[in-house]
Each structure stands twice: as C-alpha cells, then as structure tokens.
Structure 1
Amino acid sequence: MATALAFDIYGTLIDTHGVVARLQLLVGEQAAQFSRVWREKQLEYSFRRGLMQCYENFDVCTQQALEYTCQLLKFSLSAEVKSELMALYRKLPAFDDVATGLEMAKGFGFYRYAFSNGLKSSVEALLVNAGIIHQFDAVVSVDQQQTFKPNPLVYKALAGNMPQPGGSIWLVSSNPFDVIGAISAGLKAAWIQRQADAVFDPWGIEPTLVASTLPNAIQAINKSQ
C-alpha cells in the first residue's frame, strides 16, 4: 500500500525569513521584525479569508501583508521595491536539511507532494529556484479548493492525488496550525520543530510524531510503517 508524504512548503521546507538580508539594506535593524510581521500577517489574512469565504490567492495575501507591514513600521517603500520583495518570495532558500530529507523519502519509496497555501505557479517557481522540484511527484495547491489550510476540505482533497486508492497520507509541517488541521481531518502528521523554543498549540491535539529535522522525521515515519 502506497504512503504519501505531503510536505508543507513555507516555513517547513523553505525559509520564509530568507528575505532578511535584502530587508537589512532597506530597513536596517528592523529587518527581522519586518520579516516576522510580514509572515504573521500573510498567514492571518489567509485564515481570515478562509473563514469569511472571501477567497483571494496567497500571492494577494502576501502583497496585502507587505502593505500592512510597511504602514505599521512606517516605511515608505517604492512600488519598485515592493515588487522586488514580492519577487524574492519566489526565490526563498530551502533549509539546509531539506535536500537530504527529500532524497531519503524517495529512497524509502514514499510518494511526495509539495502541499501549499501558495499558488501552484508560485510554489513551482520557488522549488525550481531552490533546486528541489525534481524531488516531488506532484505539486498540490489549496487554490484548487479556493480556500486555505487548515480548512478540512484541503486535507481531504489530498486523497485524490494518490497514485493508488487506499494509501495512507502523512502531513509534514513546521506549522502547528497545519499539523492540527491535518490530524483533525483524519491524517497523520509530523511536526518539524525547527526552533528549540517553538511551542505547539495546547489544544489537546498532538502531532503523530515530533522531530527537530526533516531527515529525522522521515526516518521516524518509515519506522512507523
């Protein structure tokens, strides 16, 4: 029976704070704060749009979050600079352990999805730039369902991408909301705790397993089969 691993992209495989180096040239010592607020608002806007059933794609959420961050931190960036920052979101780097983890997943015979809130075209561009797109059997975007994680609809739709019916699906994500969403929808889920001080939401819904790196998560999933 086939086992599929659905890898979250932003924050799990790809470092969303890879824009900090460029931001340091634009906003100086507030670069890290700018990046953090931008990411937090990006997610908040996707959650709100999902709840309101007022869908706009993830690129729109990212753009609007950038506008909010500029206003909040009082930076008047030009339209050209904002366009440059948006373009950088398609060129963010992968974490150092990603190539090894994905190759390990291939060696164990797992079917591998890239599973993201992002538009398929944006995610594909990101994976190409990171040099890892060849590691995936399919790129699955929630845009097909016109909503966002953690709506149960997007997790249940993953089954339609399985190479054969009846296989099991694991979500692999560093985002607690994503892990909780997947488990609530009936999937297994591995939480990648990328920072030692990261806190998992105390909802009484625990990850199937926890690992500090992607290779450790893949090994643990394989042992659980």
Structure 2
Amino acid sequence: MRYAAYVFDAYGTLFDVHSAVRRHAAQIGPDGQVLSEIWRAKQLEYSWVRSLMGSYADFWQLTEQALDFAFSKVPSADRSLRATLLDAYWRLDCYPEVPAVLRALKDSGARLAILSNGSPAMLEAAVASAALDQSLDAIFSVDSIRKFKTDPAVYDLVTSEWRLYPDAVSFQSSNRWDIAGATRFGFRTVWVNRAGQPDEYLDLPPQLILPSLDALPKG
C-alpha cells in the first residue's frame, strides 16, 4: 500500500546511537559498550521523567546529563573523553541501508520526514553529516512544542503541518514505546526491531515488524 508520507524516528532508527562510543572504543577501554548502553538508557529515561513532570529541557541537555551519569556508573571510562564523545554524537553514523531506502521512497513520490525528540541543531547536524538532506522534506523536532514522545501532540506535528489524516502516514521507529505511541495516535506503524527484542505493548501492535529498513515496502 502506498502512503502519502513516510516519517522516521531519528536515533536508533536512521542513526546508530552507539556509533559515537564505538568510534573511540580503543580509548574508552573494555567497558565502552556498557557506557554507551547506560548513556542511551538514561537519555531516554530523562525525557520520560521530564515529560511526566511537565519540566521540559531540550534533548541536547539530556544527552549531556546522561553521559555524565554514564561516566559516574562506569569509572573505568576516561572522563576526559567527554567532549570527544559529545562531539561525535553530532555526527552519528547512519545505518548502511538508510540512504538507498530514503532515495527509493523519495523517487516513489512520497513525502519524507524525521520526527524526533532531538533538538533542531542536533538533527540538522546528523542529517548533514550523513548526506540525507536531499531525501527529506522536513525535520520535525519536539522542541517546537516542548513535549517529548509519546505525547500525542508530537505525532500531531506531522498531520497538522502536512494536513494529513494519521492513517496516511507510515511511521518507522526502532523504539517499541515510540511505535506504541504512534499506533495509538493512528499512524500506520513499522517497528524496525534491529536488536531482536521481544514484543511489548501488545495492545498497541505495529502493522509490520522488520529487522531493518531495507525490508520496508517502497510503494
């Protein structure tokens, strides 16, 4: 089935959030993977807690705070690499299949966008670094409404701006909680289960589960 728009989560879906640490693995040492996993987990946790409190802070602030916590939890990691890792986060690697998938969808005539918790500056830097600029029609950041996913107002950014019904949008995310929120909003959802995680939020199932974006139907 063809959709009017294909909208993608950014971090973990288009961009590999662990590539920042992996790029400097030799300097970080054997606990680099643990550091990266804690960094990501706390980054997301902080966004959820901020949402529940009604106390917004932009995603870059949360990214910095999460890394500081990760360093505290992993004392073997060299804290002097803090600035290096934060700089690398602005230029995360995209997954190998992403450029070709986006080009194919763009060639099919659909509109393409990112919808992310990331701040506008973070997203623009990542998109430019991965040379995805020409494939995207828009970058929607939660910063414009100061609310994080899974608030329904986040998903409404797309439908309001593009004057679409939710079921005209195919939404792709590697985060199952994000898929649950988008499904409840009414998007057609594709869970990109890169890590082979068990399903959850069974009352809000995705329409499709894929191991990567490479298998995404392209019209």
TM-score bucket of the superposed structures, by smaller chain: over 0.9
Q: Distance in 1 between matches of 2:40 and 2:22?
A: 15
* Residue in 2 that maps onto 1:91: 91
- Residues 155-177 of structure 1 deviation map (CA, whole Å, 9 limit, x = unaligned): 12211221x55571121111101
Aligned to 1:128: 128
What stretches of structure 1 move > 4 A for 4+ residues in a row?
164-167
How far apart, CA to CA, are the structure 2 residues paired with 1:218 and 1:64? Answer: 38
Partner of 1:153: 153
What is the DSSP-based 3-state SS (H/G/I as helix, E as strand, rest coil) of the residue aligned with 2:199? coil
Deviation at 1:76, TM superposition (A): 5.4
Equivalents in 2 of 1:116, 1:160: separation in Å?
Answer: 16
Q: CA deviation at 1:2?
A: 6.7
Paired AA for residue 52 in structure 1: M
Pairwise mapping of residues 134-149 of structure 1 onto structure 2 (< 5 A)? Answer: 134-149=134-149
Question: What is the 5 A alignment of 1:211-222?
Answer: 211-219=210-218, 222=219
Q: TM-score, normalised by structure 2?
A: 0.92
SS at match of 1:218: coil
User: For the structure 1 residues 76 and 97, does the alpha-carbon distance in structure 2 shift closer, same or farther, using more than 3 Å as the test?
Assistant: closer
Q: Within 5 A, what are the aligned runs for 1:169-180?
A: 169-180=169-180
Distance (Å, rounded) in 1 between the aligned partners of 2:48 and 2:214: 29
Partner of 2:205: 206
Correspondences of 1:16-95 after superposition (within 5 Å)? 16-74=17-75, 75=77, 77-78=79-80, 81-95=81-95
Aligned partners of 1:122 and 1:218: how far apart in 2? 28
Q: Secondary structure of 1:29's partner?
A: coil
> How many equivalent residue pairs?
216
Deviations 1:187-210 (A, max 9, x none): 111111213x32221432110111
C-alpha contact (below 8 Å) 1:6/1:115 kept by paired residues: yes
Structure 2 unpaired stretches of 5+: none
**Structure with the higher fraction of residues in helix conformation:** 1
Tell me if structure 2 keeps the 8 A contact 1:5–1:113: yes
User: d(CA) in 1 for partners of 2:56 and 2:62?
Assistant: 10
CA contact (8 A) 1:176 1:191 kept: yes
CA distance in 1, matches of 2:55, 2:79: 28
Contact 1:192 1:217 in 2 (8 A): no
- 1:174-193 map, 5 Å: 174-193=174-193
Q: Distance in 1 between matches of 2:212 and 2:74?
A: 33
In 2, are the aligned partners of 1:104 and 1:215 still within 8 Å (CA)? no
The amino acid across from 1:60 in the alignment is Q
8 A Cα contact 2:4 2:110, kept in partner? yes
Identity of aligned residues (%): 31
Structure 1 residue 185: deviation in Å? Answer: 1.1
